Chain A
Amino acid sequence: MSALIEFQGFNKFFGEQQVLEQIDLQVQAGEVVVILGPSGCGKSTLLRCLNGLEQAHSGSLRLDGKELLAPGTDWRQVRQRVGMVFQSYHLFGHMSVLDNLLLGPLKVQKRERGEAQAQAEALLARVGLLDKRDVFPRQLSGGQQQRIAIVRSLCMNPEVMLFDEVTAALDPEMVKEVLQVIQGLAREGMTLLIVTHEMAFARAVADRIVFMEAGRILEQNPPERFFTQPQSARAQQFLEKFSFVESLPKTLHKELS
């Protein structure tokens, strides 16, 4: 079976600087891939390339076997199949929640209003926000806005969802409500590419962990293997930093509190 998403020898530059180098990554349909790595390693850029928000690249990037780096690619089509959720939600502030959700289905996909709205409301109910249908984004908490942003992408009926550090801007209390939504999608078998710093979540939800540093993929492994026996020294170092707090001596814990 050929992969749904396939990066091959993929390079990406910001001006002179190379930010992605010889990326080889295959994602099967229904797979949940979590990309980990230190800040600035190119994780987000990788997702953005898949959504056509970044240009200047070489190599090959295929979606369902079709080369996306070819000149005639209709990114508007691709974006309907590949949804993206951002760190800071980026809901349209001048529109009600419902209008945010319906903009794509009505204007881009030219769907029937009744049908699109029924879907939007069903999805809102699913993330527990149906009562917020007519409010404006600024009246919502960060966690609520992020759940709405996820629904906005889902309303386009995408095959793949990209999550770019979607909980990084949230209070710890709100992280959970967003992660639960993503976990629900994973359970349903949707293809997900997730960039996150939530290690426990990555471990729980991922079929595969991709570890990146300085624009390269250093290792790809199932989560249990990655978290218990990381192959590269850099990944070990990275994981040690995240277990720092847990490994503090008990007495010090007391002093802190």
Chain B
Amino acid sequence: MSFDTAFMLSTLPAFLKAVGVTLQVGLLAIFTSLLVAVANAAILVFRTPYLWRLVKGYVELARNTPLLIQLFFVYFALPSLGVKISGFGAAIITMTFMGGAYLTEVLRAGVEAVPRAQLESGRSIGLSEGQLLRHVILPQASILSLPALFATFVFLLKETTVVSAVAVPEILYTTKNYIALYYKTYEMLAVLTLLCVLIFLPLSLLLRYLERRLQHGQYGV
């Protein structure tokens, strides 16, 4: 088996672009997922009548169906209902659908992890429920949910490879393209693996560092 390094180098510009697409899909999806999750977690924490059941149902549905099938549903099934969506749009919608559910659970768990005693302590000095949320629960919950939050961010970034199935030109899609065109299977998979390590590993390390700083620094609980 010989490694065609010259060929590998020649694909770099294309892969660089693909990395850009991966990050774009991943970061955008994380952002929109967070928006969805904050709204949902608030509904769950306050037990908003009716709505919280809906949110529970959504979370279970989104977490217990494979991302690929959700993606196919949005990209291939919705058009037959008259909704036409681009590959990129389908990718963001689907990733948000799944990411929002995971992050909802992360935030809810964070709020529930705030010790009951902290709530009583706040009430005993006369804080209203709103003040309690703002000054005690949210600051502590956000610190408590950091590890799970960051783990889910990395998970979502990695899951972006799934959207290659709807022709979003991210890293896996680019890899498959080159394999199909030039049959350089080993080389391209090696580049892909290397890229994954290069993107995700530093990110994981950075998040872990941030987590340590935030949790054990002066803001810890």
Contacts and interface: CB of A to CB of B under 8 A. Distances in A.
Binding between chains A and B: yes
Interface of A: 51-53, 75-77, 79-80, 83-84, 86, 88, 90-94, 103-104, 107-109, 136, 138, 152-153, 156
B121 A92 contact: yes
Given A90-B118, A93-B140, A107-B131, A83 B220 contact: no
Contacts of A138: 220
Given A93-B140, A94-B220, A94-B221, A79 B123 contact: yes
A136 B218 contact: yes
A92 B140 CA distance: 9
A243 to B, nearest CB: 33
B221 A86 contact: no
A94 B139 contact: yes
Contacts of B221: 93-94
A156 B121 CA distance: 13
B145 to A, nearest CB: 13
B83 to A, nearest CB: 45
B135 interface: yes
B118 A103 contact: no
Given A86-B120, A90-B120, A152 B220 contact: no
A51 B131 contact: no
A104 B127 contact: yes
Interface in B89-137: 115, 117-118, 120-128, 131, 135-136
Contacts of A83: 124-125
A108 B127 contact: yes
A114 B143 CA distance: 30
Contacts of B140: 92-94
A92 B120 contact: no
A53 B120 contact: yes
Nearest to B143: A94
B120 A104 contact: no
B126 A90 contact: no
A103 B117 contact: no
23 contacts: A76-B127, A76-B128, A79-B124, A83-B125, A86-B120, A86-B121, A90-B120, A92-B118, A92-B121, A92-B122, A93-B118, A94-B220, A103-B122, A103-B127, A103-B135, A104-B126, A107-B131, A107-B135, A108-B125, A109-B126, A153-B124, A153-B125, A156-B125
Contacts of A152: 125
Contacts of B131: 107-108
A256 B123 CA distance: 46
A104 B122 CA distance: 8
A88 B117 contact: yes
Nearest to A51: B124
Given A92-B136, A94-B140, A53 B118 contact: no
Given A79-B124, A104-B125, 14 more contacts: A80-B126, A84-B124, A92-B122, A92-B140, A93-B118, A94-B219, A94-B220, A103-B122, A103-B125, A107-B131, A108-B126, A136-B220, A138-B220, A153-B124
A10 B35 CA distance: 48
Contacts of B136: 92
Contacts of A86: 117, 120-121, 124
A88 to B, nearest CB: 7
A51 to B, nearest CB: 6
User: 8 smallest A-B Cβ distances: which pairs?
Assistant: A90-B121, A104-B125, A108-B126, A93-B221, A79-B126, A84-B124, A76-B126, A80-B126
Nearest to A77: B126
B74 to A, nearest CB: 40
A75 B132 CA distance: 14
Contacts of A79: 123-126
B115 to A, nearest CB: 8
A215 B126 CA distance: 27
A91 B122 CA distance: 9
Interface in B22-65: none
Contact of B220 (A88, A93, A104): A93
Contacts of B124: 51, 53, 79, 83-84, 86, 153
Nearest to B128: A76
A144 to B, nearest CB: 17
B187 to A, nearest CB: 51
A84 B219 CA distance: 25
